[in-house]
Structure 1
Amino acid sequence: MPIHNADVAEVFNEIADLLEIQGGNPFRVRAYRNAARSVGEHAQNVRTMVAQGADLKAIPAIGDDLALKIREIVATGSCSLLASLRAQVPSAVTALLHVPGLGPKRVRRLYEQLHVQSLEELAQAAAQGRIHTLPGFGALTEAHILANVQMRLDKSRRFLFAQASERAQPLLAWLAASPDVERVEAAGSLRRLRDTVGDIDILATSRNPAAVTRQFAGYEDVTEVLAQGPTRASVVLRGGLQIDLRVVEPESFGAALTYFTGSKAHNVALRRLGQERGLKINEYGVFRAQTRIAGETEESVYASVGLPWIPPELREDRGEIEAARDAALPALIAHVDLRGDLHAHTVASDGHASLRDMALAARERGLSYLAITDHSKRLAMAHGLDAARLAAQIDEIDQLNAQLMGITLLKGIEVDILEDGRLDLPDAVLARLDLVVGAIHSHFDLPRERQTERILRAMDHPCFTLLAHPGGRLIDSRDTCDLDMLRVTRKARERGCFLELDAQPERLDLTDTACRMAKDHGVLVSIDSDAHSAAELDNLRYGVNQARRGWLEKADVLNTRSLARLRPLLARTMRSSALEIPESR
């Protein structure tokens, strides 16, 4: 089975998990975490590097020992260290680390004292009241664990968009290169750019359909062939992602692409329009009686009911049919529209690159400005900055900006919003910044009214520019806070501050519907990478996907503006009266 960078990263991450559960040396754990991140982000395939005899130590964070392990993983699919650790602690135990509220020490205690080895056993132990009797746990913690585990168990298997795309795109490229394939395209939720993806539908046309399904079933990443016929096949890839292929007639390709892209609600609305015109619309085409009148292209399908083509991202039956009929579809934002990024971290807190390296990486990606927003002191686990360290960083950024060409670093902070809505740093140092990014990193379970008032009070602070990842969600791990997003959006409009769309694949927060709400209220959204390394600046593309699903246009996005146009907008959020506010605020 061929090995990809993601597979090596997965092995290293599991080694780090198991070492943590065993109470291993934290520096050794961190080395494997850094190696996993570095390999996962590396542009060149490590399998190719090994085959060519390239120096694996050219990959950041990789030394002699880790280079040997990479070669072992490429050759065998795993490594002896992982096998040894699995013999000591079942690998299923590592799934417990992904339950909010469970760190390595607690997981080790659950495993050693209650013999919990899976999410199902954890849920059973919590339901039976056995967890709160352990040291370091309590009844409230036990209740939270049970709720979080049940949430994870109840959800059908879905994959982050970034994970699904990473697996699907090489397969699509491989099929497209086949002489038997004329056209090939992904459909379903992947094409609609949803934040999570279940099964993936692929459509193709060919003069030799059976040859295409055979080729598809023989793809190198396939672990199981569920079905294979002359025009259809279904497989499971390594990692559990199911992909279904349909080879259709060329004259039906557009109709099939429309049908299998969905959503179901959009298709129902489209068929209803067809019925009003005496037409039947299905995956084979658009028919009047027995005569096919359209279907070769999607444009022909939409034109048959008097509509322009509708971008897949909008096909959720949320007003796109009406907007198309009224010639009011949005001109959706594109990645090339972004001029900068207003949320990024460095080694000063929990990032993995220096100020200079982040600046150069942003410039290489065509950005003209990058805001450095390391964490504030409250987030101790991220080595957050106190007032003195932030002041020193401000001076360092000023010095670096005097040397850099083609990129400007903006001075910022991702400041914690405390439980009562206060900000985590003194007003005097915040007032020296270009922007202040406020974020919640604790007390996610506050009741709706308290959580909302907490955010509103923070936004009232005279040094408040941007509300970061407003819902606090981690997809499939932590639900969005119980927050009155309408009140928050209206407050942002009143206050003149902005909302962030955090582009980290596991966040994508704002949701698409919240983006639409911001647009409707005239509140600008900032699409930010929340990068913790140079490579994570590429997260911006996932944020753009989400923004497109939220109907955002170039003008709706704060960081599509040039630096000259951006600075006055930021300055208006940083009110000069900040220094007059009592420290007790």
Structure 2
Amino acid sequence: MTTRGELKEALESGKVEELKGFGEKSVENLLEGLKEKEKADRRILLAEALEISEMMLNELEKQKSILRLEVAGSIRRKKETIGDIDILATADSGEWASIADFFTSMESVTKVIARGETKSSVIVEHHDRQVDLRLIEEDAWGAALLYFTGSKEHNIQLRKIAKDKGFKISEYGMFTVDDDEKVAGKTEEELYDQLGMQWIPPEMRENNGEIELARKDALPELVQGEHIKGDMHFHSDWSDGTNSLEELARYLDEHYPYDYAVVSDHSKSSRIAGGLTGEEFEKQFEEIEQVNDAIGRPLLKRGVEVDILADGSLDLDNGLLEKMEWVTASIHSRFNQDNTERILKACENPFVNVIGHLTGRLIGKRREYAVDLEKVIHKARETGTALEINAQPERMDLNDDAVRAAREAGVLLVAGTDSHDLSSFQYMDLAISIARRGWCTAKNMLNTRSWEEVQAFVKQKRDQFLSPSK
């Protein structure tokens, strides 16, 4: 067997199962892995798609004749994986030919699929991905942006509402059914207004109830990046990060408007990640104080990403955890079992503040392990434990559906980049995108609050479990 297709055929035919060491479960896991890989090959991660689209936009912005330029499709809706990339642009129609010529001859283009009057398609060298450029009349910009942003289900519902009001919608605008008079199309806002509803943020456009809320003028004010006051999860060279505490502090101090940043190095069981012993954490606490003194403010906070062990106990004793200002508890082992009980037990520890990357998935590489999200969300609410939105591009864990379920249950969410180097702090935007797709407002996120409020949250749980009546 030399190809993926041959391996899949052998797995499905039962030939592999006949080999020594390969049982039914092994074959099932291999097949699932192949399916995940095939899915990943067809789509790319949101972070990668954003990188490609930003590169293309930066190049296209050099064309001064372009009046408006924006990415549409599932990138604009911030879906976790992306197929093709759709870019819309407006310009005087007399400039369209030169813009198309420029687009199809860009340095990153490896193949031109089509070059038309209003649409051109190319393959770019990054991930061999198709990028489509659509040239739009200025007075149809809003209609085209709405149409090509989607989702399909959202747009179908809009068309039904338009029909009931005597209108029809296309990528060219909104028109009366009777005499084809154009009534809207230059902006998305006027289209939604014509339909009797608020403008709906792209991340919400999945036909999951957002239209009904918009018709009642009751859409939530979604969280934005500017609301975030601190990163709650990142690693230094004390464990498996690449940068020193001082490098991290100075970089964050210069590039991000954070009031706090929680150092969250691994505990001792994560040997491959250079996990720390209790004594090493005590030494790290001292360095955190020294670095904060050096930069002139208490930016870095004492934290840990502590391993949840097989029986649900934690990798560090409570005496040390009590000295932490923030504790993230995560699973890093036994991904092939149901891990619900482990997580439930961790939630009951008075010093655990948040469960990190709850489902353990790596998009396109490793499936989620079995976990009863409903039970975990219920326990999190009951115990005063937050749930993390891990911003690493391959994790994006929790996903938007789980975030929405947690939010609806009244569980607070925490955004953390899980950075292991300086460049990864930018992924906070991915966490915010997931939160917005889960309809989170700033009030649903804990790290939109001051450090004093975060510490009040920590204290409340400790008091709940450690009061004399317990």
Alignment partner of 1:233 is 2:125: no
Task: Report the CA distance shift for 1:319/1:130 in structure 2 as closer, same or farther (over 3 A).
Answer: closer
Q: Deviations over 1:71-128 (max 9, x none)?
A: xxxxxxxxxxxxxxxxxxxxxxxxxxxxxxxxxxxxxxxxxxxxx6554455456553
1:308 partnered with 2:198: yes
Contact 1:123 1:150 in 2 (8 A): no
Distance 1:132 1:424 in 2: 38
**Residue type of the partner of 1:211?**
S
Tell me the equivalent position of 2:390.
502
Contact 1:176 1:183 in 2 (8 A): no
Judging changes above 3 Å, is the alpha-carbon distance between structure 1 residues 145 and 377 closer, same or farther for their aligned structure 2 residues?
Answer: farther
Task: Give the aligned residue type for 2:241.
Answer: G
Give the 3 Å change call, closer, same or farther, for CA 131–143 of structure 1 in structure 2: farther
Instruction: State the SS of the aligned residue for 1:390.
Output: helix
Structure 2 Cα separation of the partners of residues 211 and 525 of structure 1: 48
Moved more, 272-281 or 532-541: 532-541
Residue 422 of structure 2: which of 525, 534, 539 is its match? 534
Encode CA deviations 1:542-585: one digit per residue, 9 max, x unaligned: 111111111111111111111122211123334597799xxxxx
Deviation at 1:384, TM superposition (A): 0.9
Aligned residue number for residue 384 of structure 1: 275
Q: How does 1:103-114 map to 2 (within 5 A)?
A: none
Letter in 2 for 1:354: S
Counterparts of 1:268-347 in structure 2, within 5 Å, are 268-289=156-177, 290-347=180-237
Alpha-carbon RMSD across the aligned residues, in angstroms, is 2.3
Distance 2:56 2:283 in 1: 48
Going by fraction, where is strand more abundant, 1 or 2? 2
Determine the C-alpha separation between the residues in 1 that align with 2:435 and 2:317.
Answer: 33
CA contact (8 A) 2:232 2:416 kept: yes
| Pairing 1:384-423 to 2, within 5 Å after superposition | 384-423=275-314
Give the percent of matched residue pairs that are identical in Structure 1 and Structure 2.
39
Q: 1:140 to 1:389 in 2, by over 3 A?
A: farther
Q: Give the letter for the 1:328 counterpart.
A: A
Secondary structure of the equivalent of 2:217?
Answer: coil
| Unaligned residue ranges in structure 1 (runs of 5+) | 1-115, 581-585
Give matches, 1:128-277, under 5 Å. 128-129=15-16, 133=20, 141=26, 143-154=28-39, 157-207=42-92, 208-238=95-125, 239-277=127-165
Paired position in structure 1 for 2:381: 493
2:332 to 441, 445, 448: 441
CA contact (8 A) 2:39 2:364 kept: no
Tell me if structure 1 keeps the 8 A contact 2:168–2:175: yes
For residues 19 and 341 of structure 2, the distance between their equivalents in structure 1, rounded to whole angstroms, comes to 31
CA distance in 1, matches of 2:297, 2:240: 26
Paired AA for residue 191 in structure 2 = V
Q: Deviations over 1:372-398 (max 9, x none)?
A: 111111111111112222232233324
**Corresponding residue SS for 1:412:** strand
**Shift in CA distance, 150/514, structure 1 to aligned 2, threshold 3 Å:** closer
What's the secondary structure of 1:510's corresponding residue? coil
Distance in 2 (alpha carbons) for counterparts of 1:497 and 1:285: 48
Inter-partner Cα distance in structure 1 for 2:299 and 2:64: 48
Letter of the 2:326 counterpart:
L
Report if the CA contact (8 A) 1:370-1:407 is conserved. no
Query: What TM-score results when the alignment is normalised by the length of structure 1?
Result: 0.75
CA distance in 2, matches of 1:287, 1:410: 57
Secondary structure of 2:16 counterpart: coil
**8 Å CA contact retained: 1:367, 1:407:** no
Paired with 2:462 and 2:159, the residues of 1 have a C-alpha distance of 51
* 2-structure distance, mates of 1:303, 1:543: 30
Which letter does structure 2 place at the counterpart of 1:224?
A: K
CA distance in 2, matches of 1:385, 1:435: 16
Shift of 1:275: 1.1
Does structure 1 conserve the Cα–Cα contact (< 8 Å) formed by 2:67 and 2:91?
Answer: yes
Counterpart Cα distance in 2 of 1:138 and 1:271: 52
Describe how 1:443-462 pairs up with structure 2 within 5 A.
443-447=334-338, 451-462=339-350
Q: Contact between 2:49 and 2:82, CA under 8 Å: does it hold in 1?
A: yes
- SS of 2:415 mapped into structure 1: strand
What secondary structure, in the 3-state scheme, does the structure 2 residue paired with 1:436 have? Answer: strand
- Residue 447 of structure 2: aligned partner: 559
Is the Cα–Cα contact under 8 Å of residues 176 and 182 in structure 1 kept in the other structure? Answer: no
Point out where structure 2 has 5 or more consecutive residues left out of the alignment.
Answer: none
Distance 1:407 1:126, change over 3 A: farther
Give the Cα–Cα distance (whole angstroms) in 2 for the partners of residues 216 and 299 of structure 1.
29
Q: How does 1:344-383 map to 2 (within 5 A)?
A: 344-364=234-254, 365-383=256-274
Aligned residues: 460
Q: Deviations over 1:5-58 (max 9, x none)?
A: xxxxxxxxxxxxxxxxxxxxxxxxxxxxxxxxxxxxxxxxxxxxxxxxxxxxxx
> 1:495/1:205 Cα in 2 relative to 1: closer, same or farther (>3 Å)?
same
Q: Do the aligned partners of residues 507 and 293 (structure 1) sit closer, same or farther apart at CA in structure 2, a change above 3 Å counting?
A: same
User: CA shift at 1:403, angstroms?
Assistant: 4.0
Matches of 2:326 and 2:80 in 1, distance apart?
28
Q: Partner letter of residue 65 of structure 2?
A: D
Q: Superposition pairs for residues 11-22 of structure 1, below 5 Å?
A: none
Match of 1:65 in 2: none
Cα contact 1:363–1:406 (8 A) shared by 2: no
Shift in alpha-carbon separation, 1:576–1:404, aligned structure 2, 3 A: farther
* Conserved? CA contact 1:343–1:372, under 8 Å: yes
